[in-house]
Structure 1
Amino acid sequence: MPSQNPLVSDRLVDFLLFEVLDTEALLTLPAFADHSRETVGLYLSAARRLAREVLFPAYKPMDEAPPRFEDGRVHVHPAMRALYPRLVELGVLNATRPPEVGGQKLPLTVAALASSYLMAANLSAYGYLGLTTGAARLIESFGSDAMKEQFMAPMYRGEWTGTMALTEPQAGSSLSDVKTRAIPTDEGHYLIRGSKIFISGGDQDITENIVHLTLARIDGAPPGTKGISLFAIPKLRPEGDRLVPNDVHVAGVIHKIGWRGLPSLALNFGEEGHCRGWLVGEPHRGLSYMFQMMNEARLMVGMNGVATASVAFHEALEYARTRPQGRPAASKDPSLPQVPIVEHTDVRRMLLRQKAIVEGGLALLATCAHLTDLAEHAEDAPARRRAFLLLDLLTPIAKSFPAEKGFEANALSVQVLGGYGYTSEYLPEAWLRDQKLNSIHEGTTGIQSMDLLGRKVPAANGEAFMALLEEIAASAARARAAGVEPELAQRVEGASMAMREVTLHLVGLGQKGDVEGMLRHSAHYLDLASTVVIGWQWLNLATAARAGAASNVRPTDAPFYEGIQCAAQYWIRTELPRVGHLSQLCRSGEDSYARMQPDWF
């Protein structure tokens, strides 16, 4: 029997696309001239079917039988041999890319929301393609024509996969300590020697080849991040009309608690002295190039966080609607029939919190995708710049909020199922395991917090931050005009002003040279900013719901609009008050964990 879990709400996705973000206006841009609401609908329908009918049934078997390392190579779950070509056929690899590289030039706003279904259904299966797209995009952006033909084209066709190979055992997230060597030759390539770890999809048996987009240091390069270059290193290198081994070896498989369908590996390059890599772009600019893939990956991680929380929320919701237990609190008659647990107020509290996290997070990721489309394709330069600034500022939040609060939402899903949730026979425990990785990879939450406060907020004299405050003020004005309860708009505006004041204080510390004081509470600042930004998103959703309820002619939509407005009320009234406490904490200079010495623990 097919699962009752929709993975992601179709009505919510359509609402975001056509009532909140006005995708029809986006489709009028010349870049998207080949698309219409009809083609958008066709792509979404195909993604929904594939996710629900093909990917989701394979999730549990893939979780229970992770990849094996045998005879020198990694063997993934057999289901991937059927899933991978179906995802390629859908167009996942190059849906947003131009026709010149075989793409459909679909707006990222559409493609990102379509991907939420695929991730919710089977995040590991989607991971192979998400990484491949990012790797191919690097070569599309910075590689030579020859590299595009040799490496990018087969990745976009789905014949080869791609990875990002950054982390090294001794360096971790500190990329300035990368030691992998690139030794120049007279033959147009470099000889690569070094080791990488935690390389997702670093080996598999579903395609004939894998291209590793790798950070390495050319012999004689300056120290630190300024000496890092980017290389394309294939597992099998082309020689004439055949592929031969390129001295890339799997050193071990990482045994993960989640994401079990996508192998994470330790790789060795150049054990035998003949691993060849090809320089992408200019020497010593590798980290700046890689930031393109890293930022795209951070938004992909954010969407994974939303999707993993979403599928668990819908599982908990269905369980709560169908699981009879207990009677209303006011009932004194034990002979009365039991009621579904969704009738109990505390269960609805847990479900509403999940809804607020999931749908607020999805709105933020959709907004970031929309900003990406505008940053690349808006018709005037000021609009493109404003979209880019906002996107850059929101990326650390869009990566971290779904991971951190998504983990809380996943824990609530387990809680709703009670004792059944705490068993491996039911899926919520697996999604809880999956979710934890999202706060770790592509830059931990702590790294995102320092990036937000230390780099993104003060950049360009705070231009991006001021643009965000302007967007929030404009949203509040629209909310009032639409008839949203004035108190909600007032609370969001008030929280944004509190964020402004604490930001000025902290940036001021940095400008005076007290960088440690500025960043001491960066994690709390990220929490504060995330809470405000999601409040802003919920105000936008409430405004669109109010307008939809006023003009909609379908009675079946009334519960949807009421649910949106109720969730907006919940987030704004119960979460935004935390901003006051977090603001005070950030301004206070409280230094307990800065003062704490290692030997005091």
Structure 2
Amino acid sequence: MPNTRPNPLLSDRDIAFHLFEELDAESLTRLPAFSAHSREGFELFLDSCRRFAREQLFPLYRPMDAEPPVLRDGRVRVHPRMGDLWRGMTELGLINAMRPEAVGGQGLPVTVFTLATAYLMAGNLSAYGYVGLTAGAAHLIETFGDAALKDALMRPMYEGRWTGTMALTEPQAGSSLADVRTTATPAADGTYRIRGSKIFISGGDQDFAENTVHLTLARIDGAPAGTKGISLFAVPARRLGPDGQLVPNDVHVAGVIHKIGWRGLPSLALNYGEEGDCHGWLVGAAGRGLPQMFQMMNEARLMVGMNACASASAAYHEALAYAQERTQGRPLTSRDPSSAPVPLVAHADVRRMLLRQKAIVEGSLSLLGYTALQGDLSHHADSEDARARASLLLDLLTPVAKTFPSEKGFEANALSVQVHGGYGYTSEYMPEAWLRDQKLNTIHEGTSGIQSLDLLGRKAVAGGGEALRLYGEEVARTVERARAAGVEGALCDALAAATDGLLSLTMEVAGRGLAGDVDGMLRHSSHYLDLFSTHAIAWRWLEQAAVAEEALRRGAGATDAAFYEGKRRAAAYWLRTELPRCAPLAQLIRSNEDSYAAMPVEAF
């Protein structure tokens, strides 16, 4: 039978390492925006999140996975304990923790919040999904809405009385937002009458909060085709009636999508305006819906990246514990069949799988923590140049930070199943559920293919490659730090050479686009994203190795020495075994090999 021991979900020591040693989050308190905070306050928030994750969220993960939401009498009914979790997360102040006190928030740095919520996502990603979506929807109204809209819709969401969603996708359009057909007709009262259908709307209805507000993309009557004709509307499932009571707003759940993972968070098909009485409120300027929505989309992409990292982390710690306690087989050198079996972790191939999981999880945490830090600096750094630099780096790395944890996290989860052997593919053990969850992360908020087009087609070449130049400077700074710290010179040399190769390859491929061959430029965008991601994780691992070497030089106790040795080994593993993949990927991209582009459809 499965072991009932608790799963730590993430390593507390590793989270502290990323936050305070690698990213130096305490230094953020020197900025005016965070001057009221302290390291002690950050640690209290971390502790509150990890305890809630382990004691409340994780015990309900399997029940919520086994009893997904259902549609009954036109309303979605979620797991009966979800309401308790929602109230607990609201009491922790999670919905507006990063927002200023003016809107009831704590003004926490994104860096601290991101690493803290990794626990919540690892504990129960479906339950946390309601928080992330509500926070993003309310933040949109905070940024672009007028005072009346903030008072009417934003505040109930930040207070946890209402939830929020992002409603972009339509049945006929999928990810092609230029083909959105939902319409908005101006009404005499200053609102709009919304009519259309949306699909795959996560958290689109529930029965634990009073209301749900859908941040919806639609076209005002007469708007031009394409993305420039799209506007953003706040459409509550229930609106305030003349007597101040909530009344139905002609938003109807057309169906619940049955998913392989994230089963505790409903994914819905919604119909607006079946009765011609769906009221929507314009958010921001007409025709600016998509640029405005990108604020929430980019936040959601990073949230998906952390969800992927957290799912991989929970599965890794489950595999590690299982490999340490499960005995099976004997050393290859043992010739005595009567000798005691050894733990799985004694076998070299099991250690290989565990080390790969560790490298993926902790490399992802480092990258997501770094992007979160750029989010803080892009708004609050003490100079305009520093803010602009951070903004460019954040934009460049967002598709990488979303995709790498999702794609490689799926591999890590599969390795967790493999470590468990025959027990791994049974529903009595945890890894198969996390594997199901993980697959959705490669699709949520833009597939990996879409992220690759964004990275190569926009971010890497924007402004003549300025963001990429800044990225190269950041990597060079890490290489210099690692050399000074005493990291093996060959590892430093390898990353420096790979950086030169990445920069020159990008400019070469961008030249195809400038010459008019856009198809040729983007033909291998998926391979480019793979290459860039592999390089970015190598960079973050070299940074971790440098921090570890510096700590060891200062002297460390036995426990910390083992921890830092783990960092050194994992860094060497990634730089020696994964970074070399960049060279053949670059050769493939340069060759512009066109087998799938030239493949006739009928030949498939």
What is the TM-score normalised by the length of structure 2? 0.99
- Partner residue in 2 for 1:355: 358
The one of 414, 428, 433 equivalent to 2:431 is: 428
Residue of structure 2 in register with 1:162 after alignment? 164
8 Å CA contact 1:4–1:318 kept in 2: the answer is no
Q: Secondary structure at the match of 1:170?
A: coil
Give SS of 2:422's match: coil
d(CA) in 1 for partners of 2:556, 2:545: 18
Q: CA shift at 1:554, angstroms?
A: 2.5
**SS across alignment from 1:164:** strand
2:159 equivalent to 1:189: no
Return the letter of the residue paired with 1:56. Answer: F
- Corresponding residue number in structure 2 for 1:224: 226
Match of 1:131 in 2: 133
Deviation at 1:597, TM superposition (A): 1.4
Q: Deviation of residue 552 (structure 1)?
A: 3.7
Per the TM alignment, residue 505 of structure 1 is displaced from its structure 2 partner at its CA by 1.1
User: Counterpart of 2:41 in structure 1: which amino acid?
Assistant: T
Q: How does 1:532-543 map to 2 (within 5 A)?
A: 532-543=535-546
Q: Hey, what's the Cα distance between the residues in 2 that align with 1:275 and 1:552?
A: 65
Deviation at 1:23, TM superposition (A): 1.0
CA distance in 2, matches of 1:63, 1:346: 31
Question: How far apart, CA to CA, are the structure 1 residues paired with 2:342 and 2:182?
Answer: 62
The residue aligned with 2:76 is 74
Kindly state the Cα deviation for residue 598 of structure 1 after the two structures are TM-superposed. Answer: 1.1
In the other structure, the counterpart of 2:458 is: 455
Q: Distance in 1 between matches of 2:221 and 2:516?
A: 35
* Cα deviation, residue 71, structure 1: 0.7
Q: Is 1:286 the equivalent of 2:284?
A: no
Moved more, 497-506 or 376-385: 497-506
Does residue 372 (structure 1) correspond to residue 383 (structure 2)? The answer is no
1:195-252 CA-to-partner distances (Å, cap 9, x unmatched) read 0000000010010100000000000001100000000000000123111100000000
After the TM superposition, which residues 233-312 of structure 1 pair with which residues of structure 2 at under 5 Å, given as runs?
233-240=235-242, 241-312=244-315
AA aligned to 2:439 is K
| Cα distance, 1:497 vs structure 2 | 1.1
Q: Aligned residue for 1:214?
A: 216
Change (3 A) 1:427 1:168: same
1:116 to 115, 118, 124: 118
Quote the offset at 1:304 in angstroms. Answer: 0.5
Q: Any idea what the Cα deviations from partners look like across 1:83-138, whole Å, max 9, x if unmatched? A: 11001111110111000000000111000001100000000000001000000000
| Alignment pair present for 1:550 and 2:553 | yes
Query: 2:154: which partner in 1?
Result: 152
In structure 2, the partner of 1:382 is 385
Matches within 5 A, 1:35-114: 35-114=37-116
Q: Distance in 2 between matches of 1:546 and 1:555?
A: 15
- Whole-angstrom distance in 1 between the partners of 2:277 and 2:5: 50
- C-alpha distance in structure 1 between counterparts of 2:368 and 2:555, whole Å: 26
Matching residue within 20, 30, 33 for 1:31: 33
* Separation of aligned partners in 1, 2:555 and 2:442: 39
Q: Offset of 1:28 from its aligned partner?
A: 1.1
How far 1:282 sits from its partner (Å)? 0.7
- Letter in structure 1 aligned against 2:230: I
CA offsets per residue over residues 504-536 of structure 1, 9 Å max, x none?
110010010000000000000000000000000
The Cα of 1:555 is off from its aligned counterpart by 2.3
* In the alignment, structure 1 residue 180 sits paired with structure 2 residue 182: yes
The one-character-per-residue Cα deviations of 1:534-588 (angstroms, maximum 9, x if unpaired) are 0000000000011111114432101100000000000000001100110000000
Q: Contact between 1:309 and 1:409, CA under 8 Å: does it hold in 2?
A: yes
- Greater displacement, 354-363 / 488-497: 488-497
Aligned length: 601
Cα distance in 1 for partners of 2:166, 2:461 equals: 29
Q: Give the RMSD, CA atoms, in angstroms.
A: 0.8
Q: 2:503 maps to which residue?
A: 500
**Aligned equivalents of 2:177, 2:80: Cα separation in 1:** 35
Q: Give, in whole Å, the separation in 2 of the partners of 1:161 and 1:414.
A: 35
| SS in structure 2 at match of 1:273 | coil
Match status 1:590 vs 2:593: yes
TM-score of the superposition, structure 1-length normalised? 0.99
Which residue is 1:341 aligned to? Answer: 344
Query: Aligned AA for 1:54?
Result: Q
1:330 matched to which residue of 2? 333
Code of the aligned partner of 1:242: Q
Q: Which residue number in structure 1 is paired with residue 173 of structure 2?
A: 171
Match of 1:397 among 390, 396, 400: 400
CA distance in 1, matches of 2:550, 2:71: 56
Gaps of 5+ in 2: none
In structure 2, C-alpha distance between the alignment counterparts of 1:558 and 1:447, rounded to whole Å: 42
1:411, distance to aligned residue in structure 2 (A): 0.2
1:81 to partner: Cα distance: 1.2
Cα 1:373–1:2 change in 2 (3 A) is farther
- 1:357 Cα shift? 0.4
- Whole-angstrom distance in 2 between the partners of 1:393 and 1:28: 26
Code of the residue aligned with 2:236 in structure 1: it is P
Q: Which residue of 1 aligns with 2:442?
A: 439
SS in structure 2 of the partner of residue 27 of structure 1? helix
Distance 1:321 1:530 in 2: 31
Say whether the 8 Å CA contact 1:215–1:230 is kept in structure 2: yes
Match of 1:12 in 2: 14
Q: In the aligned structure 2, how far is the partner of 1:327 from the partner of 1:559?
A: 26
Q: Is the 8 A contact 1:306 1:403 kept in 2?
A: yes
Tell me which amino acid in the other structure corresponds to 1:524: H
1:2 Cα deviation after fit: 7.0
Superposition map of 1:524-539 within 5 A: 524-539=527-542
Q: Secondary structure at the match of 2:350?
A: helix
Shift of 1:425: 0.4
Shift of 1:3: 3.7
Question: Aligned partner of 2:409: which letter?
Answer: G
How many angstroms apart in 2 are the aligned matches of 1:71 and 1:269?
Answer: 17
Counterparts of 1:242 and 1:598, CA distance in 2: 57
- Alpha-carbon separation, structure 2, partners of 1:507 and 1:63: 45
Unaligned runs of 5+ in 1: none
The equivalent residue for 1:560 is: 563
- CA shift digits 1:45-104 (9 cap, x unpaired): 000100001100000000000001011100000110111100111111011100000000
Q: Deviations over 1:466-517 (max 9, x none)?
A: 0001111110000000111111111111111111121111001001000000
Change (3 A) 1:109 1:552: farther
Q: Matches of 1:277 and 1:193 in 2, distance apart? A: 10
**Contact residue 108 and residue 370 of structure 1 kept, 8 A:** yes
SS at 2:30's partner residue? Answer: coil
Tell me, what secondary structure is at the counterpart of 2:423? coil
